[in-house]
Chain A
Amino acid sequence: MAQVFKPSSNTYSKLVIFGALLAVGGVGLVGYLINTSPFNTGAYMAHAQPVPFSHKHHNGELGIDCRYCHTSVEESAFAGIPPTQTCMNCHSQIWTEAPMLEPVRASLRTGQSLEWTRVHDLPDFVYFNHSIHIAKGIGCASCHGDVTRMNLTWSVAPLTMGWCLDCHRDPAANVRPREMVFDTTWVAQDQRALGEKLVSEYHVQPRQDCSTCHR
């Protein structure tokens, strides 16, 4: 009786076995890449807003500090979205006729909120706290990018857990002097050396326990 398998079958069987492993790994890799890519995370996508508010203009060109509007960022978990009155601190006097700002004026007249679209939307089981990050020298730009270049606001971070942990495992890559936290264009000369010095000086001890962020 003739042999069922020819000698070349050895080669084919190896191809099939290793090819299948590669294919499974490849699908996983592609899935991972898509999952963490801006396609899935929504990073780098400007969202439509009721008023096309420009951080580039207010923060970059006029030099208004982040905290002028985001007043609670140093004391609370939530940075704070300003009430309409904060817009009106200036816009009751300048650009008072601008059609672009009509929703702001309407909000002040009627008492109805401006309904902004959230740009950084963490899952509800994550409890991020702005104040501790500010206190330990994490600059706004480390997560939000350089908003002084953004006409409409977009996010630059994937906001995945792996991304959070990258920094919690190696804070020296991002910790900056406290007085530079709100300067979104600041870049260290030698981040590694400075970061390691500041991590010890500021007693930066980021936790990696599940319950640090999830509860």
Chain B
Amino acid sequence: MNLSSCRRPGTQPQADSASRAGLGARAVLVAAAAVVCMTSACRQDMHNQAKYRPMRETPFFADHRSARPLVAGTIARGKLGEDKLLTTGRDGDKFSSIFPFPITADLVARGRERFNIYCSPCHGRTGEGRGMVVQRGYKQPPSFHDARLRDLGPGYFFNVITNGFGVMPGYAVQVPATDRWAITSYIRALQLSRNASVDDLTSEEKSRLTKESSGG
């Protein structure tokens, strides 16, 4: 993976404010700088210590990265992937038709939040595939409400989020596995929202629906 790196401000030549100002202004700047240095510690030494904070540049390596790329085959703690269903969405050689853990309202809410962050730029908040990035020219993805996608199991969606599909890149780096399942559960909820029937509700929910819709 290609990590970014950050250089400290001031390590790159920038428009020198003194060169724009006249000699008088330069004298004022020098005087002001002197006052700053006398009334405060100059921003040196302890401010910029010989140590690496995240993504700080280094002259030591040719690519200037203090955060070294992972050695091939490295597995982070807890990322062994022993639970194949949880990490691949597959059940044997086919996509799983079940979730690896029970779906709760909290999980679906988490899925909605993550969907809106990572998926809605293209898929739109309702899953129709007309997000802002698509409106700016990205290839339009199919709507989640197509019959074909409604009939697929959750493992399929998990796999697409993980590995990508067509022009869509995989999101395994940006979204952890449990969140990818949460997003899958929310996609299921979006699909249901267009195809639910009043008959699916319990009698208690029906009376609540009637009350709330008439009470408007």
Contact = CB atoms under 8 A, between A and B. Distances in A.
A92 B167 contact: yes
The 7 residue pairs across chains A and B that have the minimum distance between CB atoms = A31-B39, A124-B49, A123-B47, A65-B117, A78-B54, A113-B5, A81-B4
Nearest to B119: A68
Q: Is the interface of A mostly helix, strand, loop or mixed?
A: loop
B195 to A, nearest CB: 27
14 contacts: A30-B35, A42-B9, A62-B136, A64-B133, A94-B136, A113-B2, A113-B65, A114-B4, A115-B4, A115-B64, A118-B9, A123-B47, A124-B46, A124-B48
Q: Is the interface of B mostly helix, strand, loop or mixed?
A: loop
Interface string A111-128: 111111111010111000
Contacts of A67: 117
Contacts of B169: 85, 88-89, 92
Contact of A35 (B6, B40, B64, B136): B40
Contact of A85 (B14, B138, B139, B173): B173
Interface residues of B, number: 45
Contacts of B63: 111-113
Contacts, number: 129
B36 A34 contact: yes
B208 interface: no
B88 interface: no
Interface of B: 1-9, 11-12, 14, 32, 35-36, 38-40, 43, 46-49, 51, 53-55, 57, 63-65, 116-118, 121, 132-133, 136-139, 167, 169, 173-174
Interface residues of A, number: 48
A85 B138 CA distance: 16
A117 B14 CA distance: 11
B38 A31 contact: yes
Given A112-B2, A117-B8, 17 more contacts: A27-B35, A31-B40, A34-B35, A35-B39, A47-B14, A65-B118, A71-B174, A84-B2, A93-B137, A93-B138, A94-B137, A111-B2, A115-B6, A115-B57, A117-B6, A118-B7, A125-B49
